[in-house]
Structure 1
Amino acid sequence: MAPHLTHMDLERARLLYEPGDRVDVVYFPHDGVISMMTLMENGAAIESATIGREGAVGLSSAVAPRHSLSRAIVQTPCRCSRIGSSQLHDAWEKSPRIREMVDRHAEALLGHTTQSAACNALHSVEARFCRWLLTCHDRIPTDTVALTQEFLADMLGVQRTTVTAVARALQDKGLIRYRRGIVDIVDREGLQSAACECYEVVRRHYERLLPETPPAETARS
């Protein structure tokens, strides 16, 4: 794959795919967050999965031509590698190791999206917000998350006023510092206590299927 990989920086809010787009390029994030958003006909959206350095966006196109089912959008600035899906398919055909990793990634992502569906339906906005912050924190090299209220509202499927209220409540508890568009994680252990069970379920799922993923602490050091 190496001769076909190119490296680039992805800015926040960059749109990679819309639903129905042919997946011609696969992105491997190194140090940021890309969200997969499920869209409704009325324009409403909610996040179904978060992808960082443990995975890739569009990886299923290694097996056969694909069209995106979701909107893929960059949530935090990141460096990434990219490769054409046809070139990745050639590598997939030649390498049993790549085929195995694509299968493992597909299973991990399916588990992630399945858990997200249950989480979005059953858990409080505050617990889901804590889960999302932890998921993001695992994938970036800093304790500061730069996100607009609009992005957070879309990810959680709520109004922007609700995002503000929840963020201020977490700040009052000493878990984060919040200012418009910026969240500083102050107490990670506290966030883990306040998050729903889904954070640990998904984390363990990825660790089992993709055990070579480096821990967040190593990546930030």
Structure 2
Amino acid sequence: MRLNNPNQNHLLAALLDAEFDRISPHLEPQMMRLGDVLYESGGQLNYVYFPTSAIVSLHYVLENGSSSEIAGVGNEGILGISLFMGGNTTPSRAVVQTSGHGYRLKSQILMDEFNRAGPVMRLLLRYTQALLTQMSQTAVCNRHHTVEQQLCRWLLLTLDRLDGSELTMTQELIANMLGVRREGVTVAAGNLQKYGYISCRRGHISVLDRAGLESTTCECYDVVKKEFARLMSDVRQRQG
């Protein structure tokens, strides 16, 4: 499947033919580069985004400029849920975590489909519930679990959105995602490398033993994965 095929995004692939035919002429291919900011906190939502091979991190930004990730969105979802949840702005910053491709769609076109109160609305609300579960579990995880467990959770959720096992990511960026000190991530990554679960080199992390990561992470990863599977289990994926 081509990197810029809309059907790589699970929500677009789940649309019925009639719905997809109305939306597809308006989908604009996007190259999403590492560090690109799609939304700023408080910014207007002129577009929604459907990643295909890119991964985007949602950050909550404090007054002093520090931030931490509250959720990640990849080919399973959409960026811009605030639009159809009753707001024209978003409280979080959306920044590309893993470069790749995606599509953007003018917000009004999505709202026209949502306001039909049919399958598109039900699909988006179901996805939103799964995303809220991820946000809630991230908050719990950051408060109650070790940096090593948080790192495993983050690596596994990222792997689920990628085709391979290679991540282009520095430990400093991971620390910013988790909202912890870089030294904590360095120690945690060193432990995982010592166990033989990952291999780290400058700017890259290779996962060598996924089962090892799954045995080390906390229950938060499984909660998020099962909730997405439960909510999206009966969604038909259109091929193309």
Answer yes or no: same fold by TM over 0.5.
yes
Report the TM range for the smaller structure's normalisation: over 0.9
> Could you say which residue in structure 1 is the equivalent of 2:211?
189
> Could you say which residue in structure 1 is the equivalent of 2:177?
155
1:28–1:65 CA distance, 2 compared to 1 (3 A): same
User: For residues 192 and 149 of structure 1, what CA distance do their matches in structure 2 show?
Assistant: 20
User: For residues 150 and 15 of structure 1, what CA distance do their matches in structure 2 show?
Assistant: 18
> Could you say which residue in structure 2 is the equivalent of 1:134?
156
- Tell me if the contact between 1:62 and 1:86 (Cα under 8 Å) persists in the aligned partners: no
More deviation in 14-23 or 204-213? Answer: 204-213
Does residue 44 of structure 2 align to residue 22 of structure 1?
A: yes
Q: Tell me the CA shift for residue 135 of structure 1.
A: 0.2
Moved over 3 A (4+): 62-65
Does residue 166 of structure 2 align to residue 144 of structure 1?
A: yes
For structure 2, the residue ranges without an aligned partner over 5 or more in a row are: 1-22
1:186–1:162 CA distance, 2 compared to 1 (3 A): same
Say which of 212, 227, 231 aligns to 1:205. Answer: 227
User: For residues 80 and 213 of structure 1, what CA distance do their matches in structure 2 show?
Assistant: 21
User: For residues 229 and 45 of structure 2, what CA distance do their matches in structure 1 show?
Assistant: 27
User: For residues 10 and 108 of structure 1, what CA distance do their matches in structure 2 show?
Assistant: 24
Q: Tell me the CA shift for residue 157 of structure 1.
A: 1.1
User: For residues 195 and 154 of structure 1, what CA distance do their matches in structure 2 show?
Assistant: 19
TM-score normalised to the size of structure 1? 0.92
Q: Tell me the CA shift for residue 118 of structure 1.
A: 0.5
Q: Tell me the CA shift for residue 63 of structure 1.
A: 5.4
1:136–1:93 CA distance, 2 compared to 1 (3 A): same
The one-letter code sitting in structure 2 at the alignment partner of 1:157 is: G
Q: Tell me the CA shift for residue 180 of structure 1.
A: 2.1
Q: For this pair of structures, how many residues does the alignment match?
A: 214
User: For residues 209 and 123 of structure 2, what CA distance do their matches in structure 1 show?
Assistant: 34
| Aligned alpha-carbon RMSD (Å) | 1.5
1:203–1:146 CA distance, 2 compared to 1 (3 A): same
- Tell me if the contact between 1:37 and 1:72 (Cα under 8 Å) persists in the aligned partners: yes
Q: Tell me the CA shift for residue 64 of structure 1.
A: 4.4
The one-letter code sitting in structure 1 at the alignment partner of 2:110 is: L
Q: Tell me the CA shift for residue 150 of structure 1.
A: 2.5
User: For residues 157 and 236 of structure 2, what CA distance do their matches in structure 1 show?
Assistant: 14
TM-score normalised to the size of structure 2? 0.85
User: For residues 236 and 54 of structure 2, what CA distance do their matches in structure 1 show?
Assistant: 14
Secondary structure at the aligned position of 1:94 is classed as: coil
The one-letter code sitting in structure 1 at the alignment partner of 2:218 is: C
More deviation in 128-137 or 18-27? Answer: 18-27
User: For residues 63 and 197 of structure 1, what CA distance do their matches in structure 2 show?
Assistant: 29
User: For residues 193 and 2 of structure 1, what CA distance do their matches in structure 2 show?
Assistant: 41
Q: Tell me the CA shift for residue 73 of structure 1.
A: 0.6
